[in-house]
Structures are given as C-alpha cells and as structure tokens.
Amino acid sequence: MRRQRAGRGQGSRRRSRGRQGGRADLRPGRGREEGEGEGHRGRGGAARGAPGGQRNGEERELIRYSQYLMPTTKETPSDAEVVSHRLMLRAGMIRKVASGIYNYLPAGLRVLRKVERIIREEMDRAGAQEVLMPTVVPSELWKESGRWDAYGKELLRFRDRADREFCLGPTHEEVITDLVRREVRSYRQLPLNLYQIQDKFRDEIRPRFGLMRGREFFMKDAYSFDADEEGAAESYRKMYEAYCRIFRRMGLSFRAVEADTGSIGGSSSHEFMVIADSGEDAIVSCEACSYAANTEKAECVPPAGASPVGEKEAGLPRKVATPGKRTIAEVSEFLGIDPSVLIKTLVFESDKGDAAVLVSGRYEVNEAKVKNLLGADWIRLAPEERILELTGAPSGYAGPVGLKLRLLADHSVRTIPAGATGANEKDAHLTDVVPGRDFSPEAYADLRLVTEGDRCPRCGGGLRFSRGIEVGHVFRLGTKYSKALSASYLDAGGKERPVVMGCYGIGVGRTAAAAIEQHNDADGIVWPISIAPFEVSVVPVNLKHEGIAGDFPGVPFATFARSLRIPLRRNLSLRSIRRESGTA
RNA sequence: CGGGACGUAGCGCAGCCUGGUAGCGCACUUGCCUUGGGAGCAAGGGGUCGCCGGUUCAAGUCCGGCCGUCCCGACCA
C-alpha cells in the first residue's frame, strides 16, 4: 500500500526527529518549534505535520529493532486489565517492578519524553519557568502547612539515619512556597509561574491500570504566584489555555470540567478529562450550554415548590414494624411507598464532629458536598458500632426524628410531604414524618449526587453523562499556602501582602495511557503521531542477495503494524531501490 | 482496610478434587530452510511448583500461617 506516500514521508521525515537519543540524548527540550499544527495526523501521508522543527536536515535517528530493548509480545500478562496497560506491556514499553511501580523501557520512555516536550513547549510559551524540586521533602514544611497530619496515608513518610522525618513528595506546594517566600520580596517580582516535571510518589490505596494509577509517576506541576486575585485569575486563565493546547496537540478528545478541590484546597478548579469509557471519573455536561462538571462537583437544582406540603393532611408519625428491612429498596417495597418519599439518613464522622445527613431515598449522598458544608478535612460513613451508639439502632434504621445529632438535609427532603424514615430502633420505621414539623435540620443544602433526571444548573438543559480520565487539574489556591507558610511581598505602597497562588498538574504517564485508551484498535495502539515512539519503520524485504540480511518480513510487519503501530512504514526491497534510484 | 480470586519455566496456562515420573503453547539456543504480514522442520536449554511449618513411607497436590499480585468499594495527576 501507499508506496509513494511512504516514500514522500521518508523524504521529509529525515529532518524531523530532533536529537533525542544517540549522543545528544542529554539535551531535553531542544528543537523548540513554534506553532502547533502537528496535532493528530493519523497514519499515512502525514509527514509534513511532524514535530521536530525544520533544522537543517540530515539528522536522522536510526534505531535497529534487532538491537533495541523493546520486547513485544503476543500474549498479555494476566494482571493487565485496561487496554492501555495491556498494550503498553505488549508493545514492550513498560514492565512492572512492584505494585504501581514500573520500569520504563526505551520505547515507553520515548513516549513520555514526547509528552513532556509538548508540555514544556506550551508551559514555556505561557511564560512559566522550569525548575526542579526534590522528591524527598523534610517534614517541617508539611507540618507548617498542616498537611503532615491532614494528607493521610498516601503520604509516604520515613526517617533518615539521624531520625529526622521526611516524606516522598506527592505534590509540591510546600516546597515551592518555601522557595518563593525566601526569594520574592517585592510586587515587582510578580507574577511568577514555576513548573517542574518530576517523579512523584503517592502511596495509593489501590494502584491499578498500569500507568493510569501508579504509586510512582511523572507529573508536571506548576505553581503561579500573583500579587492579587485579578492577577491570579489571569494566571489561571493562561494555564487553562495552555492545557487546552497541550491536549489538543496530543490528539486527545478532552473536556475541562468543574471539579472539587479535594485535599489540595483552594477556591475553584477544573479537571481536564480525556473522554474514555474506561475512565475512573464520571462527568456530566450540558447538552445546551458549556457547563460541564465532575459528578462529585455537579450542582443539583433544588426542587421547585415550597417546604412541607400536606402538613395538615398527614397524621402524626406512626411506628411500623419492618423486620429485617434495612435498605431503601427493601423498605419501600415492604411499605408499598415510592423510594422518593423515604428519608434516607446517613451518619458521618468527621474532624468537625458527627452529623446525620438526610436525602430522599431516590438519591445518593455526595460526600464531597457534605465535607465542604461541614468545612471538614475528612469525613467518613460511621462504622456499624458508632451508628448503634449514636442512633440506638443498627444501620438501616436511622432517622431524623428525635435524633441527637447535627442534622443536615438535602433540598430533596424538604418537599417530602409525609415521608417514611428509620425509627432509630431495630426493625422499625416511622411513617407520616413531616420535615419541619417532626424534625428540623440545621440546614437544607445541595448534598446529593446528580442523577440522570437532573437538569443543567446553569441553563436548565439536559445533562449528558460520560466517563473520563483525569489527566490534568488546575486550581486557584488563593492564599491557603502563602498564609500558612508566610509567603508575602511588599506592594507598591510598602504594605505586606500574601501572594495569591494557583497550582496546575498534568500526569505525564497517565496522559500517555489516556491517549492509548482513546486511540487503539483490535491490533494495537494507533498513535497520534505527535507522541508516537517512532514515526517511520523501515523494513528490508528480500534483500538477502544484496548482503543485507533481514528477518522474515511478516515478523517486523506484524510487530510494527500491530503491537506498535508505527504511523508510517517504508519497505526496502531491491525493487523499490531500483525504482527510486533510477538504476536498473 | 473490607469483600473476591490467583501464585507451577521469561509469558500464557494444564496438573491439585482422587498424594507416587514436572507437562503444553509461545518465547529462547543450534542446524537446515524461508523473505511482502506474528513462517516451517529437527535437535536442545530452562522449574528449590511464592515462602515457612505441619500431616504422610511419600506433598505441586492435603492442613495451618505468612508474603506477593490482581479484581470490586473509600483517594487523586
């Protein structure tokens, strides 16, 4: 196929690769190019859009497959679940060393380097400066920000020989803020945006899916420092745009969605989601307007209609026996009522104390929203013993009536005319329970997860549910870290002010994995050319008599075409050489 | 950490229920052969059956403990 095209491709490709590898491989980020324009060009005939700039040609990196450590396999190790993991193993890109910890083989490293290079170019273009911070971080900095205690077990801690405490950095707000507080004194030095591409370690509860959720991984993390909120908003906007360019250049179909800020903190954030069914995150997007959010963040429109209707019609609460009926499904069926009029009562523990959260039986509680409402660092569902202790009944029979706990209710509860709920007694529920009359939550708020029936909180349009892989996350941090670590500057009036920060992450390996999730077929990886480990394969065919020994051609063909799917192929045979050189 | 499963050659697996000789495919080595889609023939190399202990004349197989890995739930790039 396409012999001529391949020929053309080869011609212009020779000056395309830049000088990674070979003797020049210690010079990353060389060969800056302007503009985008490589994007995703698929296979065949795409040579002109290739990365690598137009530096005077003749540089060509030729790698011999026979000598290259790229152990492609037909069979997949049995512990690989998702396609990207499987295909990376089969293409000889990565090998596991321990759970969530990998060796990157040459071909895999090349892909990471290409992803990094695109990131560097766009970060530099956006005015950020590259630095490099240590992976080992002293505990003092983390204690100063308060996260030594707040961050949890993902933070791998250890001691050195002198018994000093350290951790492996899972993110670097503390370190960068420490740097900046020492060096930045004046508003004249702002704004400042510093980034690094560095090895991170998070002791994940459950590493899985290969590079998608490893414990050790490469991340680009950037931190912006501004004099005020307006400046910070501008820095945020620049990063948001840079992220769009980065993912676009890698040929990814993605979406930026509003997100919860989690343990990083801050006022607002967007996640960059690569759309993929295998994604671990659920997202909603409006079919009419531009609203999109992580389901964890997605706002739910409160129901129309006022507070308790039917107060007069409903009798007083009655206790009914519901032996063995604990779940919403069991209780609603047993009582012959719709789940929506059941008042589901969940008991949470948090660093701000215990609370009962109420929601209509047709919905699920959104823990992130509860946590934010409480202003808590952590919350969790109370264990069985605590539930018994706090409600006087085993789980499944909690209810708000007479409960001596903080009551927080979702909006969906308010309009339940005469509901049913647990009686705080084993094997019993109450019916004809009226919110506002029989119990009074301290607040009605949006505390539930969006569901299929919900409408867009911005425009009322329909919502679409999809799944995504979070490859990037941008946060407006405000002054959380600058205040905790006293990073301040003097403004034009000589007044001391805290710097206003933002932080911006991209998972390098995860992005590569996401690209594979999105670009593969039954045979293997269909690389976007901008991050393909190789752009052209050259296969000698039938040249034995010319003194050039080749493999049986089916092998390299299949290897390059299936496992690796190198975008372009050039076959070298006596015939093709004669044709092109004009000799006979 | 809770729930489920699995550890036998580099990889994928069988053997275990019913204890007695370590087996298959791929990969690897050598020779021949082959050159436009993961070839063919022949001959080879490679395993303390995850670890420790127990039962037994005898343990890959039965029992106990430990370790590791993967999958399902709470975190996040």
10-residue block means of pLDDT along chain A (584 residues)? 32 34 28 33 29 44 84 82 90 90 93 97 98 95 88 87 93 95 96 96 88 93 96 96 97 91 72 90 90 88 66 74 85 87 89 88 88 82 83 87 90 87 90 89 90 89 91 93 94 96 95 93 87 88 67 80 79 77 60
Distances (CA, A) of A11 to A28, A48, A196, A570, A580: 25, 10, 36, 11, 12
Q: Which value, to the nearest 10 degrees, does the dihedral of the CA atoms of residues A182, A183, A186, A188 take?
A: -160
A 174-193 residues, CB < 7 A, strand B: none
Q: Is the peptide bond before A191 cis (omega within 30 degrees of 0)?
A: yes
A 506-525 residues, CB < 7 A, strand B: 506-507, 509-510, 524
Give residue A263's pLDDT: 61
A 102-121 residues, CB < 7 A, strand B: none
A477 CB below 7 A from strand B atoms: no
From A231, A265, A289, select the one nearest A239 (Cα to Cα): A231
Distances (CA, A) of A541 to A6, A31, A332, A548: 15, 34, 72, 9
Q: How far is the CA of A84 from the C1' of B33 (A)?
A: 38
Give residue A571's pLDDT: 82
Nucleotide nearest A379, CA–C1', reads B74
SS3 for A497?
A: strand
Q: How far is the CA of A450 from the C1' of B67 (A)?
A: 43
Give residue A471's pLDDT: 95
Give the integer Cα–Cα distance in Å for A530 and A508: 14
C-alpha triplet A217, A222, A224: angle, nearest 5°: 160
Give residue A14's pLDDT: 34
All domains of chain A in start order, with CATH: 114-299+462-511 (3.30.930.10), 318-445 (3.90.960.10)
Give A344-378 as a 3 state SS string.
Answer: EEEEEEECCCCEEEEEECCCCECHHHHHHHHCCCC
A307 CB below 7 A from strand B atoms: no
SS3 for A212?
A: helix
A576 CB below 7 A from strand B atoms: yes
Give the integer Cα–Cα distance in Å for A460 and A286: 9
* Model pTM score: 0.83
A207 CB below 7 A from strand B atoms: yes
Q: How far is the CA of A389 from the C1' of B62 (A)?
A: 45
A 389-448 residues, CB < 7 A, strand B: none
Give the integer Cα–Cα distance in Å for A243 and A122: 8
Q: How far is the CA of A514 from the C1' of B63 (A)?
A: 46
A328 contacts A399 by C-beta, under 8 angstroms: no
Nucleotides of strand B lying closer than 7 angstroms to a protein CB: 1-2, 11-13, 25-26, 34-39, 68-77
Burial of A66 (0-12, 13-18, 19+ CB in 10 A): exposed
Q: Which value, to the nearest 10 degrees, does the dihedral of the CA atoms of residues A471, A477, A480, A485 take?
A: 80
Burial of A156 (0-12, 13-18, 19+ CB in 10 A): middle
Give residue A27's pLDDT: 27
Nucleotide nearest A548, CA–C1', reads B35
A377 CB below 7 A from strand B atoms: no
A24 CB below 7 A from strand B atoms: no
A199 CB below 7 A from strand B atoms: no
Altogether, the residues listed in chain A come to a count of 584
Nucleotide nearest A200, CA–C1', reads B77
